[in-house]
Amino acid sequence: METRLAARMQVLKASDIREILKITQNRDIISFAGGLPAPELFPTESLADLAAVLLRQKGTIALQYSPSEGYPPLREKIAKRMNKVWKTSLAPEDILITTGSQQGLDLTGKLFLDEGDAILCESPSYLGAIMSFNAFGPRWIEIPTDNDGMEMDAVERALEREARVKFIYTIPSFQNPSGRTWSMQRRRELVQLATRFNVPIIEDNPYGELCFDGETPGMMQAMDNEGLVISLGTFSKTFCPGLRIAWIAAKREIISKYVILKQGADLHSSTFDQMLTDAYLETHDLEQDLMNKRAVYKQRRDAMVRALEREMPPGVSFTRPRGGLFLWVEMPEEIDARELLQRCLDRGVAFVPGATFFPSNEKPNTMRLNYSNMPEERIEEGVRRLGAEIRSIMSETTRKASVRRSALPV
Amino acid sequence: METRLAARMQVLKASDIREILKITQNRDIISFAGGLPAPELFPTESLADLAAVLLRQKGTIALQYSPSEGYPPLREKIAKRMNKVWKTSLAPEDILITTGSQQGLDLTGKLFLDEGDAILCESPSYLGAIMSFNAFGPRWIEIPTDNDGMEMDAVERALEREARVKFIYTIPSFQNPSGRTWSMQRRRELVQLATRFNVPIIEDNPYGELCFDGETPGMMQAMDNEGLVISLGTFSKTFCPGLRIAWIAAKREIISKYVILKQGADLHSSTFDQMLTDAYLETHDLEQDLMNKRAVYKQRRDAMVRALEREMPPGVSFTRPRGGLFLWVEMPEEIDARELLQRCLDRGVAFVPGATFFPSNEKPNTMRLNYSNMPEERIEEGVRRLGAEIRSIMSETTRKASVRRSALPV
């Protein structure tokens, strides 16, 4: 049977992250690997009450098939909320409910990509997007990315050179994996470039509301007059991920195309989970929840940054994110994070080697650390072990190098 | 932006069924169009209690990310249940939880199909499968299908002729849309042919347990020693569809490939809905529920068959399904079911024109009728109106024909 598989199966492989998560799942490990929100912040009690009432009062609707576009009151709440927070001007018809933002990525690949089409992306970029889009055989054009976002000269040159760029994929706020946030200036410039070349921007925005320092950064979708920005939003980080409720926001002509693909992908997202999310938004203040989440995550980010400053040897640098769940570490070139991971797992610490986040040009000496899922003392302990292991590899390398040097005929 | 869309978007269109459902949703219409289970049979009270307990006791797990393969206890229950009902020999590792069986179809297309690959299917076949697979640009080979299943000579000739057949897609029990059920003999023959040519069989089995008359028909997966049968199962018809919990059963080497695609498609299905389904199966007897469902659907099937026998004019034939949700009507060739639908909608009756169920060779004079979603008196009234409209078109056609004849110069 294996000979009958599609050509794409030669390229696709299981997510490194999910494989690492499986290893760490049932062991007492300090895991910086996942992107898991803090479960102690989930509103389990409120949802228990809401779920019971919902099933008693509207169970025959909540357990039945429902429209592919999504539960109408939820689409309306999402549009309103986005307009309030991000100053977009979206109507309910501009929203499609998806089964996690991951589905938004999959449908986006399906909507735009023929084999050999080009995608512009940040370098590094989100692994889940790389996996989804790779199913459609694209060419990746990694745009050099600094602390303010993609370098615009490189974007412009790529758009001039390549006729078959189907979209520009970005995570402008608190990026996964780097923790970086685009400046407002860069966002405006990208929207201008996209308008000039008539190229869609995919604005993946799962972390935008998890801003700890300063103002929540604006969205490109609010700067766009041409309907070229398609944004992906999710409740996974602001509410909870287990219900898999997320959305695509775009002009309705494009949403109607997405709906066709949604029908073929899973008909519709869980009616019950959509209605439960809607009931929660109806009866609770998500702003209050977000304030709690931001406070907890800020403390954990601070704990991790402090520990890294203390424990990392010279030659190791890292980002200091203003929000989100991740930071990014760059180590001296002789350190391969995949080998480091093997050693760290033995010492009870996990992370994701950075190489997996580059669609083509891997940087093996990088890693992504998550700080949202562990209490501060565990973060400190984990970073301590991580630092010790890096130091140990560095000193081994130095020793080997000096042995090599002293072995040279003089 | 529309110029940037993938080539597949030229072919794909919104499902006729979902469009008809939208029209009928908010109107007082007797709808034979959907495939909706009877909502009054959903166990809303039990689920209300279970959902509240689940969120109170295991909320931090139920609302969190979870493995792509699915919730382990649920995978185990499904394997056990299949082995009991269908005499398969599946382990939990052979089960992947999907977001509805529709996702099983989408992932199957992705796993096997390169552009131009061939699929063998029944004629007619399931619209949702046609839509899913069409996203991957296949060629459809419709196999002539009689009341016992695909005609084996035609299958054999197609497999001899076509090297690039990636799989044979079948719904052997109470087929959607035709209501037909394959004989055991045909199933055995298909497994033999598939083994000889080393071609996978997709055995889509959403209705298998909804058998009203005689024994629940066996599955090809239980006749297969080579691991060539991949089956799709779902709780949508035996439990409820709103939670979108379904599964793929196949040998684990193939499941591991599906898992890679599942990660890219939506990471995992709703943790909460999986655990809720698991809790229901743990605490309730699905057999008892199924007996109720079978009894209700049998009465409705009987009501529809009786009404059709009474109301349909000569020249109209229809299937008498032993189970499932649908029956299939074939009308005289001069009747186009799409035109009939327009007229019937004005009279408050909806159905799905059959043409949509043929991937290439449409039969415009056919239609699919669903009987599971309406009480008996509504079924009778709907069929009465349907019959009146068909008679009226037939007499108009006869009149026109005689006018044409009498207008001929003699």
SS (H, E, C) A87-127: CCCCCHHHEEEEEHHHHHHHHHHHHHCCCCCEEEEECCCCH
Q: Which amino acid is at A252?
A: R
Chain A residues near residue B9 by CB distance under 8 angstroms = 111, 257, 260
- The answer to whether B49 contacts A47, with C-beta atoms less than 8 Å apart, is no
Among the partner-chain residues A102, A254, A272, the one whose CB lies closest to the CB of B267 is: A102
C-alpha distance from A334 to closest chain B C-alpha (Å): 31
| CB B290 within 8 Å of CB B207 | no
- pLDDT for position B1: 77
Phi and psi angles of residue B39, each rounded to the nearest 5 degrees, phi first: -70, -25
Residue in chain B closest to A260 (alpha carbons) equals: B14
Who's near A46: CB < 8 A, 6+ residues apart?
Answer: A280, A283, A284
Domain A7-36+288-407 has CATH 3.30.70.270: no
Sign, CA torsion B78/B84/B85/B91:
positive
Coil, strand or helix: which one is B197?
Answer: helix
Coil, strand or helix: which one is A66?
Answer: coil
Q: ipTM of this predicted complex?
A: 0.95
pLDDT tens across A260-274, in order? 999 999 999 999 999
Phi and psi angles of residue A409, each rounded to the nearest 5 degrees, phi first: -65, 125
- The answer to whether A132 contacts B259, with C-beta atoms less than 8 Å apart, is no
Which of A125, A303, A285 is closest to A212 using CA atoms?
A: A303
Residue in chain B closest to A103 (alpha carbons) equals: B266
pLDDT per residue rounded down to tens, chain B (410 residues) = 778 999 999 988 877 777 787 777 767 899 999 889 999 999 999 999 999 999 999 999 999 999 999 999 999 999 999 999 999 999 999 999 999 999 999 999 999 999 999 999 999 999 999 999 999 999 999 999 999 999 999 999 999 999 899 999 999 999 999 999 999 999 999 999 999 999 999 999 999 999 999 999 999 999 999 999 999 999 999 999 999 999 999 999 999 999 999 999 999 999 999 999 999 999 999 999 999 999 999 999 999 999 999 999 999 999 999 999 999 999 999 999 999 999 999 999 999 999 999 998 889 999 999 999 999 999 999 999 999 999 999 998 888 777 666 655 54
CATH number for the region B67-283 comes to: 3.40.640.10
Chain A residues near residue B67 by CB distance under 8 angstroms = 18, 21-22, 25
C-alpha distance from B401 to closest chain A C-alpha (Å): 41
Q: What is the DSSP letter of B323?
A: B
How many other CB atoms sit within 10 Å of the CB of residue B70? 26
- CA B264/CA A263 separation, integer angstroms: 17
Among the partner-chain residues B44, B105, B131, the one whose CB lies closest to the CB of A59 is: B44
Which residue out of A15, A18, A275 would a mutagenesis test of the B interface target, given it has the greatest number of B Cβ atoms within 10 Å? A18
Chain B residues near residue A65 by CB distance under 8 angstroms = 34-36, 236, 241-242
Residue B22's alpha-carbon distances to A50, A261, A267, B17, B34, in angstroms, are 28, 17, 14, 9, 10
Chain A residues near residue B200 by CB distance under 8 angstroms = 1, 4
- CA A36/CA A25 separation, integer angstroms: 12
CATH number for the region A64-284 comes to: 3.40.640.10
Question: For residues B238, B232, B130 and A102, what is the CA-based torsion angle, rounded to 10 degrees?
Answer: 100
Which residue out of B96, B197, B270 would a mutagenesis test of the A interface target, given it has the greatest number of A Cβ atoms within 10 Å? B270
Q: What is the DSSP letter of B176?
A: T
- Give residue limits of the domains in chain B: 12-42+288-395, 67-283
What is the pTM for the complete model shown?
0.95
- The answer to whether B1 contacts A254, with C-beta atoms less than 8 Å apart, is yes
Among the partner-chain residues B36, B51, B111, the one whose CB lies closest to the CB of A52 is: B51
C-alpha distance from B39 to closest chain A C-alpha (Å): 5
pLDDT tens across B212-263, in order? 999 999 999 999 999 999 999 999 999 999 999 999 999 999 999 999 999 9
Q: Is the pLDDT of residue A406 over 70?
A: no
Residue in chain A closest to B137 (alpha carbons) equals: A114
Q: Where are the alpha helices (DSSP H) in B63-151?
A: 72-86, 100-112, 127-134
Contact pairs from chain A to chain B, CB under 8 Å: 281
C-alpha distance from B73 to closest chain A C-alpha (Å): 15
- The answer to whether A244 contacts B257, with C-beta atoms less than 8 Å apart, is no
- The answer to whether A55 contacts B48, with C-beta atoms less than 8 Å apart, is yes
Which of B102, B123, B105 is closest to B113 using CA atoms?
A: B105
Who's near A77: CB < 8 A, 6+ residues apart?
Answer: A278, A281, A282
C-alpha distance from B24 to closest chain A C-alpha (Å): 12
Radius of gyration for the alpha carbons in chain A, expressed in angstroms and rounded: 22
Which of B345, B304, B344 is closest to B324 using CA atoms?
A: B304
- CA B4/CA A165 separation, integer angstroms: 8
What is the CATH architecture assignment of B12-42+288-395? Alpha-Beta Complex (3.90)
Which residue out of B1, B108, B130, B237 would a mutagenesis test of the A interface target, given it has the greatest number of A Cβ atoms within 10 Å? B1
Among the partner-chain residues B102, B117, B269, the one whose CB lies closest to the CB of A267 is: B102
